[in-house]
């Protein structure tokens, strides 16, 4: 077997752990966030969450199986290079096809998890969500077509050929997965902001009663002004980061670089949202 084929088979091992690397910040919880959601929406999101958890368990099992098949391929390859027998040729062809099928299964499950996370996560801009779902579907169809090529390949030369063909598909899946992970991270913070706007409207419209108010009315008004300042600062920041996510889709494939720098880009947004949540707690007397 050619060295290039070996590296192709190893691609999935380094690729799959990416689903665990979603940029994360300390959780931002808004006490009133569930009030704006219907029971149907909540139940639908719970079902998606459960389905994602089930698929993540499946993915771990599939990845372990792929690693086992990849080890079997390595052994068969080494035996072929040493023995150069007909039986060793048959074994290396069989083990290669088995590893390829395992890799396909792993990648398809991974892409399906990303698809469900896009449907589950609030705050992802519609244009990004639709584009990402379209990309995921295209990749899953390509994996299906590649599975057929594996089944049709009967000798070493054919196997080597389709192994080489997978390189470009693997790179596309890798790059676009960084794009999906990026918009999921932005969407989570966008969702917190969207809920904060609703809560702020509610708080601002409430009349405080002197005996029950957590703050005196004059203090409350000043506090609301501070909240409004944060509310108005955040939209331009979100607009910039969403635009950067779109710009990262260039021929030079900058999605991975954008994702790697996303913690730094989202840091100022997260700090303002954290402060906003803290202000809400003070206004409502929630500790």
Q: Are 259 and 22 in contact (CB under 8 A)?
A: no
What are the distances in angstroms from CA 215 to CA 31, 141, 261? 19, 59, 40
Closest alpha carbon to 33 in 279, 287, 278, 277: 277
pLDDT at 218: 79
Range with top average pLDDT, 8-12, 131-135, 156-160, 165-169: 131-135
**pLDDT over 70 at 153, yes or no:** yes
- The token duo for 240 is 């910039």
User: pTM of the full predicted structure?
Assistant: 0.84
Q: Which helix (H) or strand (E) holds 143?
A: helix 126-152
pLDDT at 75: 94
**pLDDT over 70 at 4, yes or no:** no
**Cβ of 279: how many Cβ atoms within 10 Å?**
18
Confidence of residue 203 (pLDDT cuts 50, 70, 90): confident
Rounded CA separation 110/137 (Å): 12
pLDDT at 29: 58
| Domain assignment of residue 201, given as a range | 3-284
**pLDDT over 60 at 117, yes or no:** yes
Q: Are 99 and 34 in contact (CB under 8 A)?
A: no
Q: Are 55 and 67 in contact (CB under 8 A)?
A: no
Closest alpha carbon to 255 in 123, 135, 143: 135
For 233, half-sphere exposure in the C-beta direction (CA atoms, 13 angstrom radius) is 14
DSSP state of 252: T
Average pLDDT value for residue range 145-168? 90
The distance from CA 250 to its chain's CA centroid, rounded to whole angstroms, is 19
pLDDT at 2: 41
Q: What digits encode the pLDDT tens for the residues 6-60?
A: 333 433 433 443 444 344 455 565 655 445 556 777 778 889 999 999 999 999 9
Domain count along the chain:
1
Rounded CA separation 266/64 (Å): 34
pLDDT at 65: 94
Q: What digits encode the pLDDT tens for the residues 218-257?
A: 788 888 899 999 999 999 999 999 999 888 666 556 788 8
pLDDT at 25: 53
Average pLDDT value for residue range 257-273? 93
The more confidently predicted of residues 214 and 168 is 168
The distance from CA 243 to its chain's CA centroid, rounded to whole angstroms, is 18
What percentage of the chain carries pLDDT values higher than 70? 80
pLDDT at 249: 66
Q: Give the chain's mean pLDDT.
A: 83
Average pLDDT value for residue range 75-100? 93
Rounded CA separation 147/98 (Å): 11
**Cβ of 170: how many Cβ atoms within 10 Å?**
16
- The token duo for 88 is 């060793």
- The token duo for 174 is 């890798």
Provide the H-helix boundaries in 206-250. Answer: 217-247
Rounded CA separation 137/145 (Å): 12
């Amino acid at each position: 077997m050619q060295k290039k084929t070996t590296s192709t088979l190893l691609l999935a091992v380094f690729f799959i752990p990416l689903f665990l690397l979603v940029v994360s910040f300390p959780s931002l919880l808004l006490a009133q966030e569930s009030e704006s959601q219907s029971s149907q929406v909540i139940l639908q999101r719970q079902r998606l969450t459960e389905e994602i958890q089930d698929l993540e368990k499946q993915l771990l099992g599939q990845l372990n199986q792929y690693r086992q098949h990849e080890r079997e391929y390595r052994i068969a390859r080494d035996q072929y290079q040493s023995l150069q027998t007909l039986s060793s040729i048959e074994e290396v062809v069989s083990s290669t096809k088995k590893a390829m099928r395992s890799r396909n299964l792993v990648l398809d499950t991974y892409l399906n998890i990303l698809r469900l996370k896009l449907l589950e996560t609030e705050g992802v801009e519609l244009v990004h969500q639709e584009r990402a779902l379209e990309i995921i579907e295209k990749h899953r169809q390509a994996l299906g077509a590649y599975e057929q090529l594996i089944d049709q390949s009967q000798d070493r030369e054919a196997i080597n050929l389709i192994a080489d063909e997978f390189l470009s598909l693997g790179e596309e899946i890798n790059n676009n997965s960084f794009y999906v992970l990026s918009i999921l991270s932005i969407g989570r913070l966008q969702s917190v902001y969207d809920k904060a706007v609703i809560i702020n409207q509610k708080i601002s419209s409430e009349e405080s009663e002197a005996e029950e108010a957590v703050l005196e009315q004059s203090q409350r008004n000043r506090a609301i002004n501070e909240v409004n300042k944060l509310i108005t600062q955040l939209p331009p920041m979100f607009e910039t980061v969403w635009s950067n996510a779109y710009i990262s889709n260039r021929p030079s494939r900058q999605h991975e670089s954008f994702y790697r720098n996303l913690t730094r880009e989202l840091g100022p947004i997260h700090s303002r949202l954290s402060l906003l949540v803290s202000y809400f707690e003070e206004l409502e007397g929630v500790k």
